[in-house]
Structure 1
Amino acid sequence: MIAPLTGAPPTHRRRVPLWDNARWVAITLMVIGHAILKLISESDVSYAVYLFIYAFHVPLFVGVSGYFAKSGPPGTRQLHRLLTDIVFPYLIFETIWTVLRWMLGGRFWLDYSTASWTLWFLIALTIWRIALPYLVLLRYPLLISVLISVGAGYLPAIDSTFALSRTLGLLPFFVFGWHLRQWQITGRWLTLRTAVVWRWRAGALALFGTLLLVIFANIEALRALKIRRFLLYDEAYPTFGYDQIWAGGIRLLLIGLACALIVAFLVLMPRRQTWFTALGAATMYIYLLHSFLLYPLRESGILSGPQPFWVLPGVIVLSVGISVLLSQKFVKRLFRPLVEPKARWLFRTEAATPTGTIVLPPEDSLPPRGPTPS
């Protein structure tokens, strides 16, 4: 299964606790970010927490997906899993959201080119995985992906159709994750002595702490600068008021910061089994199902307007609870046909030839076509 922050390793390989820990914490941060969205307009504290999470959590999803992505020519099995793990779940859940909105009084409009809420990631992940083998043929794939990301922000014609704005905008993090795999950071990190590990973790904590302090100290300025719009990577700069040539420099700085935060986040993750390690195998379920649980909270208006101080921590605790709930085995059993559709009936029983043509036996082994001469 390929979860949204994954590209999870095949089940016959030994799972590495570090990555399952990272998957679950990262997906839980995503749930928190989505849950507190309605609070940020009225609360500077909520907005600061939101900016802190979004400074790295989406790039982290993309980076971990790139870490586990295959850059060689795709085989039949990989193409099969691309459909069953990503494309089919997208079609299923986009259809469900369309029907749900219609049942709640909206217009029935089935449009697979425009993803509902969080489903954009599945479109982007499909494109990244298809493009990666071609991109890494080039000499400097990371540099090229950064230029593509920064350049795409200048073009308003690149919008959310087929999640193209986010696909191009977040491409550097997918390639960065692939590079981390090439550098074999997992093996090196897991063999470091504890004292060295804690020195790295001290640096990571200092980075995150500095970021949080900077955000809180400049929250009004960051709100005025519309920095949130940059962190979403889903719009061209001119669409939210940045038509200056230097606007791409802001995205470039945020890309560099996010890459540093990805590494810092992974450094802080436990290297051993924890109580939430096993939950890291269920990230696809959390990703696809949490929005249904948050939908009433977000759309009912209960979080609109000024809120008591305890609402923010309460929503955070609720989000963690949702993440834990959706990681349970009974959820996987119940929703597996939707989240991990096999669709064996849809696939050929034997692989096609490279050219798609029928392979015939050698001509000298074929029976004669007409009467043989006497």
Structure 2
Amino acid sequence: MTSATAEVSPSIAPSPAPARKRRVPLWDNARFLCVALVVIGHSVQRLTGQSDHALMVYVFIYAFHMPAFAIISGYFSKASPPGSRQMRKVITDILLPYAIMQTIWTVVQYLAEGSTSLNPTTPHWTLWFLLALAVFRLVLPYLVLLRFPLLWSIVFSVGVGYLSNVDSTFSLSRAIGILPFFVLGWQVRQWKLAEKWRMLDRQALWVRLIAAAVLITWALSVVFFIGFWKEISVHWFFYDDSYDGLGQDAWWAGFVRLAFLALAAILSAAFFVLVPRSQSWITGFGQATMYIYLLHSFVLYPLRETGVLKGEHPSDWLLAAVILAAIAISIALASPIIRTVFRPLIEPKPRWLFIELDDKPGRGSRTDPTGARRPQR
């Protein structure tokens, strides 16, 4: 994802200086809310086996939180052929953090579980999205050469489910599965829908009421049909397994994924409508989404593995406490001290790794892979 800003019209007064850019709080707010939902979803997952209420929260969140994240990623992505700087960014912003965190996870699992498996092709837990971002960036310049790129991305997403040999190696199946949301985000910007529909402004009351009604309707459908969600696999929301792996090998299984794609798009749209447009207490946290996303799993891992988040009959009080703790973890991991301490791992700058090129180096990128603007250092 690239810069989370909107361009300001150049001043009519003659000036050699380029027009400055202003931050748009909407995107920082949306990024933080998305990553907080990620942390909440991972926190309550171990409670879903014994608690219907936890399963309700889980299903509600997983229907749209990663699709919404992918939409934001696509909105701030460029489809032009990558230059040397953009290619270096893929290495420094995605592949190096992936290699670092994958190695750390391998060591942690060896110390905690005695596991000696070292397989860089199979991402640990949350790291799949880093590889998905790399796939998105590599594929987008080629995809937009075709007519109707959004339609093609949907065809690929639905089609890959029929291929059992396309699996989670390098997150390929999941990346292709959620590709339509990334392309949708990019397409929204190309169509200038944000300007035409005044998406960056505070939405009219009737629009917000419709969006709230959509999310409430989804919540109620999850509550009243929780038995249905117990019968079918919630892994449909992961866009990872083949249809056969999900226990559905019928020819029409692709239409089920298509329905999930449509549901996620509608819920994501409602979510974005309700995201605050103005500066708020969460806005600053949206600039640290990479830190929250990559580090929260290390906080949750000991809690999940020691059984703190498991119980035969978890109470609703425990569920509420876990949700509040997840929000607190999200906020804590966005703090300046965490960003300072872990910056070498999350934002590595190995200038020694690259050869000197003749192209103009320019200023270092101030955008992380989630589209958040990095503070000046």
Alignment TM-score > 0.5, same fold? yes
Measured against aligned partners, the alpha-carbon deviations of 1:77-100 in whole angstroms (never above 9, x if no partner) come to 211211111111000000000111
Q: Can you give the 5+ residue segments of structure 2 that lack an aligned partner in the other structure?
A: 7-19, 361-377
1:198–1:127: structure 2 CA closer, same or farther, 3 Å change rule? same
Give the match for residue 330 of structure 2: 323
Residue 212 of structure 2 corresponds to residue 205 of structure 1? yes
Shift of residue 301 of structure 1?
A: 1.3
Q: Which AA in structure 2 matches 1:244?
A: A
Residue 285 of structure 2 corresponds to residue 260 of structure 1? no
Measured against aligned partners, the alpha-carbon deviations of 1:181-235 in whole angstroms (never above 9, x if no partner) come to 11223334557875x5222111100100100111111000121122x11101110
Tell me which of 30, 34, 40 is aligned to 1:22: 30
Q: Which AA in structure 1 matches 2:257?
A: R
1:315–1:192: structure 2 CA closer, same or farther, 3 Å change rule? closer
Would the aligned equivalents of 2:53 and 2:316 in 1 still touch at CA under 8 Å? Answer: no
| Partner SS for 1:133 | helix
Pairing 1:215-294 to 2, within 5 Å after superposition: 215-226=222-233, 228-294=234-300
Shift of residue 13 of structure 1?
A: 3.9
Structure 1: how far apart are the matches of 2:200 and 2:153? 31
| Partner SS for 1:242 | coil
1:183–1:198: structure 2 CA closer, same or farther, 3 Å change rule? farther
Q: Which has the larger radius of gyration?
A: 1
Tell me which of 46, 58, 67 is aligned to 2:75: 67
Structure 2: how far apart are the matches of 1:192 and 1:152? 34
Shift of residue 349 of structure 1?
A: 2.0
Q: Which AA in structure 1 matches 2:284?
A: A
Q: Can you give the 5+ residue segments of structure 1 that lack an aligned partner in the other structure?
A: 1-5, 354-374
1:216–1:281: structure 2 CA closer, same or farther, 3 Å change rule? same
Structure 1: how far apart are the matches of 2:257 and 2:5? 35
Structure 2: how far apart are the matches of 1:348 and 1:27? 35
Tell me which of 112, 115, 125 is aligned to 1:107: 115
| Partner SS for 2:244 | helix
Would the aligned equivalents of 1:190 and 1:271 in 2 still touch at CA under 8 Å? Answer: no
Would the aligned equivalents of 1:17 and 1:271 in 2 still touch at CA under 8 Å? Answer: yes
| Partner SS for 1:14 | strand
Measured against aligned partners, the alpha-carbon deviations of 1:28-73 in whole angstroms (never above 9, x if no partner) come to 0000000000011111111111000000001111111111111011
Give the match for residue 157 of structure 1: 165
1:17–1:188: structure 2 CA closer, same or farther, 3 Å change rule? farther
Give the match for residue 173 of structure 1: 181
Pick which of 47-56 and 105-114 moved more. Answer: 105-114
Would the aligned equivalents of 1:76 and 1:351 in 2 still touch at CA under 8 Å? Answer: no
Would the aligned equivalents of 2:200 and 2:277 in 1 still touch at CA under 8 Å? Answer: no
| Partner SS for 1:36 | helix
Give the match for residue 190 of structure 2: 182
Give aligned-pair identity as a percent: 48
Shift of residue 15 of structure 1?
A: 2.0
Structure 2: how far apart are the matches of 1:192 and 1:32? 27
Give the match for residue 357 of structure 2: 350
Q: Which AA in structure 2 matches 1:242?
A: Q
| Partner SS for 1:104 | helix
Shift of residue 352 of structure 1?
A: 7.6
1:189–1:335: structure 2 CA closer, same or farther, 3 Å change rule? farther
1:121–1:193: structure 2 CA closer, same or farther, 3 Å change rule? closer
Shift of residue 173 of structure 1?
A: 0.7
Measured against aligned partners, the alpha-carbon deviations of 1:118-168 in whole angstroms (never above 9, x if no partner) come to 001111110110110100110011111111111111111111111111011
Q: Which AA in structure 1 matches 2:187?
A: H
Give the match for residue 297 of structure 1: 303
Give the match for residue 363 of structure 2: none
Give the match for residue 313 of structure 1: 320
1:79–1:9: structure 2 CA closer, same or farther, 3 Å change rule? farther
| Partner SS for 2:105 | helix
Give the match for residue 371 of structure 1: none
Number of corresponding residues: 346
Pick which of 324-333 and 104-113 moved more. Answer: 104-113
| Partner SS for 2:308 | coil
Measured against aligned partners, the alpha-carbon deviations of 1:233-262 in whole angstroms (never above 9, x if no partner) come to 110011121011111111101101111112
C-alpha RMSD over aligned residues:
1.8
| Partner SS for 1:73 | coil
TM-score (norm 1): 0.89
Structure 1: how far apart are the matches of 2:85 and 2:195? 26
Structure 1: how far apart are the matches of 2:4 and 2:354? 23
